[in-house]
Structure 1
Amino acid sequence: MSHLDTVPLWAAIPAALLVLLGSGLTLLGTIGLVRLNGFYDRLHAPTLGTSWGTLGIVLASVILFSTLEHRPVLHDVLIGLFVTVTTPVTLMLLGRAALHRDRAEQAPGVPPAMLHPPTSEQVPLEQSP
């Protein structure tokens, strides 16, 4: 007999559904990482899969352990917060590093770097009739 046998049904069902949802979203992000063609295309899918998948699993953990310990257990939210913040930032930095490398190698199809953003004097305004 395990301590999980004492979890009431009203807490076990939402926790199980959230774990399934979180793991399914993470699986979709992984499939997107494998199936998409280029490096830049592959950056988006794992970010969303990891962020939303982590949210589902963390919520399930909070529900389950708050029920088992008869008190609010919220330290799991820190794990979710760290994963949700660090994953997109990491993939953004990887994308910028790859763009810098591709520009240095003058790869085809890479937009040139803008040294100075266009000002209102350089961009002609459309005149209304």
Structure 2
Amino acid sequence: MKELEGNPGKRPLPRNEPRPQLPVKRPRGMGRGQRAYWDQHAPELERLRILTGLDVPAMRLMAEHYTFALEAARILGDEGLIVEGRDGPKKHPAWQALRDASGMYLRLAAEFGMTPSARTRLQLPPEVEQLSLADLLFEAANGGEASE
């Protein structure tokens, strides 16, 4: 991770830092929204060598918290921010669920460099090729085969 962050402490980087070889596979048992989140973000994180097989549980939690936050936001949109309580109007319980899930999501997203401030601290390793928009479009048009 220090390699990605640009070694802000300027301490020597370990030469034999572990590079996990476990494959990145979407876990079984994820809900539809969680699978969609995984399928949208995991390939790019893996391509950038940010997501490894050891990170799958954290990525799963991030997808879960993202979908929990969306569900709480949907409930609040349908039912409003205020509900009638025993002692009169009170804040909807989904409000706290939204805050909790959003907070956890943002903490996990920062670990993967998925927030603007987290990205400013990341530097990609030199061997990770940055594709131009033209290369990405060419690759997509040719079914994922890169141009030579």
TM-score by length of 2: 0.33
Q: Which has the larger share of strand? A: 2
Q: Which has the larger share of helix? A: 1
The structure, 1 or 2, with the larger RCO (C-alpha pairs under 8 Å, 6+ apart) is 2
